[in-house]
């Protein structure tokens, strides 16, 4: 009879597993402690209902003690919450059969942050790190009925201030710890002293709402005899075989002394290994080797499928069984850093092939970490997949994400650049802090190392840049002393060059480790010739978008530009009196120190001044998309030098003007639609040098492709103009995995045909069957200079079981056509240019209760000419 794997969430000793004719009892049971929680301030007497996992803020919202922190200026009125201590409690019962187990432990998967835990009035745990898993032995402390579990949370501000004041020097200040908004004593910045998500203290795209609470589950694990604690699976690939090793960490009780158990490996329900193991009391480590013939390889999104093997390790004796299932994808991944004529390469090779990385930086989806649900994770990462991304960078000022995040990345083919949780700061170097971080790193490396999506561990975000490039090193030497500056650097080296590096090498051998992003090597600041670069001269340096064409590093891991959410999103957190980008509320929901003024400055360079508030929001999104499309195309055109482009940022953690391409309410901005196009496997792009317009075709595919390049030069009314230097169709063979110029035009020939502000060039690449592989529309002046006619856009509506389809057409160029409706969701395409005589169909999923007539009536269309 086939083995029936047992449930890992809640198990009781009465559960039986059949193997052959034998009934085997699971050695381990798990009981979640999630019900009956209450909370209160330590200064209050009255208890209120709480949700676990959760946070103090979300519980206060639930019991109507505070209003929505995101609405208007409410955030500012809620800064008292993080100054108080909070208490959580619950009662629970344990079955007698569970109490009879030899070992019982309470598992705390995430306590935010300064917590003391009491079980039946006895202190069992003191924790000061929200990123750590604590397993606390509680055998002998539990009773069958009415166990009380209490968690006391100290104010993270109070704890941080005590640590801040314990130093006789000041650490350099980061602009991201918004202590002034937080109404902290002396505006002291305390975030660096706590192992807590840095963005809770504020960032230049986020609010300051410093949480406390039980943010991950609590459970009781009970076992007798033996238990599988951890399984790490590694593999080596050759042409027709995968050799795998399961490194198993198992615990055994004294009752197992001198007893042999059977260790087994099952793959997709089939047993492939049986090996006798003699367990010793305490911790045991052993290896199980096995092969998979003709394995299906796991590929990044766009290059193949993502097959996952369910590998189950079991320990079995005559009466009992324990089991752990791990999903594994088989692939080789390598960070290639070889000297070359341009410096030193920086690219990822997957299954033997160089892969250009296309993606975005990711931040936590909400300031309140327990708010995002499975559907939110699915939406966001599916959006990344559908936008042709193959890499997500988990940024170091947030959290090591939930298991669900990485499982979806495995499923969708999204490689993960994983920062450790350090960002834009230098940190304490005392032994208590460093030891705490070491355990944090080990916990999370072991938790994540089996995921095929995990591509790289990175020590920190911009801490090296802050020290070397932001004047911090000189400031500390000048205002404190050279000795203190040297000690801060020694602490940096200890943490990022030694502790984290050794943790990765020890617990995830073979996975690349990069000390800091950006950098050119260990302790060496960023360079365009080696390592990765964060390019912020556009935005912070006010340089024009055109600079993206020249700023080409080996790997671009950050760059970006801001925009506002669309008007229907802004309406959800403002009142009509706030409808001005310089109003108090709109300014508060903009955390960049140069924010709205910089958006407007760039906007007036390239676009005409918008006529009203909704138009300003709309044009801001066109501006952002205009700039980053230029950057992405430049990076991909120069893939002989640059092998990755990760823009800042994919998402938001609250409603705000920011660098995101998807707003807090899950609305795709114009940028997300342009990213989807620019990240397609094939791209056609142009570059003007002197009087020549060069047409590039870029391929990320692993095989060459026969195709045809076609061109149409027309005015905005649809009249075509061509000459001998512009053939209508040119056959070509697109070379695999590279970028090449396939045709060049003389700009003087184009200028001879009419004013450049009245013409466009449509370029398409089609395969031999006529399928469009890539297309682009090229304009010859900035959008504000275009002589755009007023188009008459017509549309018709159709439906099927799941979607509405809108077919749009126009008599004249409809530039940046934006379609909206009453439905919640995103159209399949939007903010696009609809050319004269063309029709385009876009679709949107149906919402519950919608009907065709009401959907048709709710449709609104605007184009660029409607904005001024």
Could you say which of 1.10.1420.10, 2.60.120.260, 3.40.50.150, 1.25.40.10 is the CATH number of the domain covering 31-219?
A: 2.60.120.260
**Helix intervals (H) in 571-717:** 584-588, 595-606, 613-637, 670-678
Confidence of residue 6 (pLDDT cuts 50, 70, 90): very low
- Could you tell me whether strands 282-293 and 333-336 are parallel, antiparallel, or unpaired per DSSP bridges? unpaired
Which token pair is 479? 């205002």
Mean pLDDT score, 628-657: 99
At residue 14, the pLDDT reads 36
- Does residue 1 surpass a pLDDT of 70? no
d(CA 666, CA 804): 19
User: Which CATH architecture describes the domain 682-785?
Assistant: Sandwich (2.60)
At residue 19, the pLDDT reads 52
pLDDT in tens, 132-169: 999 999 999 999 999 999 999 999 999 999 999 999 99
CA nearest neighbour of 863 among 648, 608, 663, 639? 608
CATH superfamily of 793-867: Immunoglobulins (2.60.40.10)
Whether 312 and 323 have beta carbons less than 8 Å apart is answered as yes
pLDDT in tens, 407-434: 999 999 999 999 999 999 999 999 999 9
Total residue count of the chain as it appears in this document: 868
Placement of tokens 């350099």 in the chain:
172
At residue 718, the pLDDT reads 95
pLDDT in tens, 294-333: 999 999 999 999 999 999 999 999 999 999 999 999 999 9
**Residues forming beta bridges with residue 122, ordered by sequence position:** 119
Residue boundaries of the structural domains of the chain: 31-219, 230-328, 333-678, 682-785, 793-867
* Average confidence score pLDDT of the chain: 96
Measured torsion, CA atoms of residues 591, 594, 597, 600, in degrees rounded to the nearest 10: -90
Whether 142 and 94 have beta carbons less than 8 Å apart is answered as yes
Q: Residue 131 carries which DSSP code?
A: T
Among left, alpha and beta (phi > 0; psi -120 to 50; other), residue 461 is beta
Whether 60 and 51 have beta carbons less than 8 Å apart is answered as no
At residue 22, the pLDDT reads 65
d(CA 378, CA 544): 36
d(CA 4, CA 309): 17
CB burial readout 665-703, b (16+ within 10 A) else e: ebbbbbbbbbbbbbbbebbbbbbeeeeebbbbbbbbeee
At residue 23, the pLDDT reads 82
- Does residue 380 surpass a pLDDT of 60? yes
**Residues forming beta bridges with residue 698, ordered by sequence position:** 683, 739
At residue 21, the pLDDT reads 47
| % of the chain exceeding 70 in pLDDT | 97
At residue 174, the pLDDT reads 86
At residue 11, the pLDDT reads 35
Which token pair is 758? 């009245």
pTM above 0.85, yes or no: yes
Same fold, 682-785 and 793-867: yes
- Does residue 443 surpass a pLDDT of 50? yes
Q: Is 545 exposed, middle or buried (0-12, 13-18, 19+ CB in 10 A)?
A: buried
Distance between alpha carbon 248 and the CA centroid of its chain, in Å? 30
In the chain, count H helices and then E strands.
17, 47
Q: What are the respective helix, strand and coil percentages of the chain, to the nearest 5? A: 25, 35, 40
Q: Which fold has domain 230-328?
A: Immunoglobulin-like (2.60.40)
- Does residue 170 surpass a pLDDT of 90? yes
d(CA 342, CA 837): 47
Among left, alpha and beta (phi > 0; psi -120 to 50; other), residue 187 is left
At residue 753, the pLDDT reads 93
Confidence of residue 726 (pLDDT cuts 50, 70, 90): low
**Helix intervals (H) in 151-302:** 156-166
d(CA 22, CA 521): 58
CB count within 10 Å of CB 578 equals: 20
- Does residue 222 surpass a pLDDT of 90? yes
Measured torsion, CA atoms of residues 395, 192, 451, 337, in degrees rounded to the nearest 10: 60
Q: Is 629 exposed, middle or buried (0-12, 13-18, 19+ CB in 10 A)?
A: buried
User: What order of strands is seen across the sheet that includes strand 22-26?
Assistant: 17-19, 22-26, 320-328, 309-316, 260-267, 270-278
At residue 9, the pLDDT reads 32
Confidence of residue 823 (pLDDT cuts 50, 70, 90): confident
pLDDT in tens, 697-719: 999 999 999 999 999 999 999 99
State in words which class domain 333-678 has. Answer: alpha beta
- Does residue 12 surpass a pLDDT of 70? no
d(CA 835, CA 219): 59
| % of the chain exceeding 90 in pLDDT | 93
d(CA 308, CA 331): 11
- Does residue 2 surpass a pLDDT of 50? no
């Amino acid at each position: 009879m086939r083995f029936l794997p047992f449930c890992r969430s809640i198990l009781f000793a009465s559960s039986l597993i059949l193997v052959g004719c034998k009934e085997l009892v699971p050695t381990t049971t798990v009981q979640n402690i999630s019900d009956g929680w209450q909370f209160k301030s330590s200064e209050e007497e009255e208890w209120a209902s709480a949700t676990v996992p959760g946070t103090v803020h979300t519980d206060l919202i639930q019991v109507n003690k505070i209003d929505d922190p995101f609405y208007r200026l409410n955030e500012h009125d809620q800064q008292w919450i993080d100054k108080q201590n909070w208490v959580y409690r619950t009662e629970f019962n344990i079955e007698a059969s569970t109490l009879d187990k030899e070992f019982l432990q309470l598992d705390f998967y995430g306590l935010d942050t300064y917590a003391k835990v009491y079980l039946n009035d006895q202190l069992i745990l003191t924790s000061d790190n929200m990123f750590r898993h604590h397993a606390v032995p509680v055998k002998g402390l539990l009773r069958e009925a009415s166990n009380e579990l209490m968690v006391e949370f100290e104010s993270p501000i109070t704890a941080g201030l005590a640590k801040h004041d314990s130093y006789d020097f000041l650490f350099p200040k980061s602009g991201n710890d918004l202590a002034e908004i937080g109404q902290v004593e002396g505006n002291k910045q305390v975030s660096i002293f706590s192992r807590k998500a840095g963005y809770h203290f504020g960032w230049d795209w986020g609010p300051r709402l410093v949480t406390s609470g039980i943010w991950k589950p609590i459970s009781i694990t009970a076992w007798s005899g033996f238990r599988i604690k951890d399984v790490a699976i590694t593999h080596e690939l050759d042409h027709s075989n995968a050799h795998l090793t399961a490194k198993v960490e198992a615990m055994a009780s004294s009752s197992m002394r001198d007893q042999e158990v059977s260790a087994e490996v099952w793959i997709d329900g089939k047993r492939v290994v049986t090996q006798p193991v003699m367990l010793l009391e305490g911790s045991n480590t052993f290896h199980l080797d096995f092969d998979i013939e003709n394995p299906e390889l796991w590929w990044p999104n766009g290059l193949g499928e993502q097959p996952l093997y369910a590998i189950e390790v079991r320990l079995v004796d005559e009466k009992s069984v324990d089991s752990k299932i791990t999903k594994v994808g088989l692939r080789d991944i390598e960070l290639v850093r070889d000297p070359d004529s341009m410096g030193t390469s920086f690219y990822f090779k997957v299954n033997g092939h160089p892969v250009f990385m296309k993606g975005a930086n990711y931040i936590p989806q909400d300031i309140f970490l327990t708010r995002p649900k499975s559907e939110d994770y699915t939406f966001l990462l599916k959006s990344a997949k559908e936008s042709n991304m193959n890499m997500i960078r988990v940024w170091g000022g947030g959290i090591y994400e939930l298991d669900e995040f990485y499982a979806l990345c495995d499923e969708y083919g999204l490689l993960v650049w994983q920062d450790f949780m350090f960002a834009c700061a230098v940190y304490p170097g005392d032994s208590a802090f460093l030891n705490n971080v070491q355990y944090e790193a080990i916990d999370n490396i072991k938790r994540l190392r089996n995921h095929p999506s995990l591509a790289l561990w990175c020590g920190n975000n911009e801490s090296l840049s802050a020290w070397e490039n932001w004047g911090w090193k000189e400031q500390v030497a000048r205002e404190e002393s050279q000795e203190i500056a040297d000690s801060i650097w020694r602490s940096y080296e200890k943490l990022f060059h030694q502790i984290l590096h050794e943790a990765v090498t020890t617990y995830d051998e073979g996975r690349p480790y990069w000390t800091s992003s950006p950098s050119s090597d260990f302790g060496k600041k960023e360079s365009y010739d080696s390592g990765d670069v964060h390019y912020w001269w556009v935005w912070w340096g006010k340089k024009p978008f055109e600079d993206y064409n020249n700023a080409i590093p080996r790997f671009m891991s950050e760059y970006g530009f801001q925009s506002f959410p669309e008007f229907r999103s802004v309406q959800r957190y403002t009142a009509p009196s706030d409808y001005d980008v310089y109003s108090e509320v709109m300014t508060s929901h903009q955390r960049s120190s140069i924010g709205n003024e910089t958006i407007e400055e760039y906007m007036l360079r390239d676009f005409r001044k918008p006529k009203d508030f909704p138009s300003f929001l709309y044009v801001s999104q066109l501006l952002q998309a205009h700039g980053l499309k230029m950057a992405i195309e430049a990076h991909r055109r120069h893939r002989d030098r640059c092998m990755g482009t990760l823009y800042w940022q994919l998402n938001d953690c609250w409603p705000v003007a920011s660098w995101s391409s998807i707003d807090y309410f899950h609305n795709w901005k114009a940028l997300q639609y342009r990213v989807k196009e620019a990240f397609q496997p094939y791209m056609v792009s142009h570059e003007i040098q002197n009087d020549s317009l060069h047409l590039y075709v870029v391929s990320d595919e692993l095989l060459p492709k026969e195709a045809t390049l076609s061109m149409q030069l027309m005015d905005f009314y649809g009249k075509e103009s061509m000459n001998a230097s512009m053939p209508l169709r040119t056959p070509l063979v697109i070379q695999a995995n590279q970028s090449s110029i396939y045709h060049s035009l003389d700009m003087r020939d184009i200028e001879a045909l009419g004013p450049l502000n009245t013409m466009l060039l449509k370029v398409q690449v089609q395969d031999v069957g006529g399928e469009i592989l890539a297309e682009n529309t090229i304009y010859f002046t900035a959008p504000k200079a275009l002589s755009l006619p007023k188009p008459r856009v017509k549309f018709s509506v159709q439906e099927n079981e799941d979607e509405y389809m809108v077919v749009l057409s126009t008599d004249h160029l409809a530039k940046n056509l934006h379609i909206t409706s009453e439905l919640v969701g995103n159209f399949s395409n939007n903010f696009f240019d609809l050319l004269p005589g063309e029709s385009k169909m876009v679709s949107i999923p149906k919402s519950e209760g919608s009907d065709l007539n009401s959907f048709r009536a709710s449709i609104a269309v605007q184009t660029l000419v409607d904005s001024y």
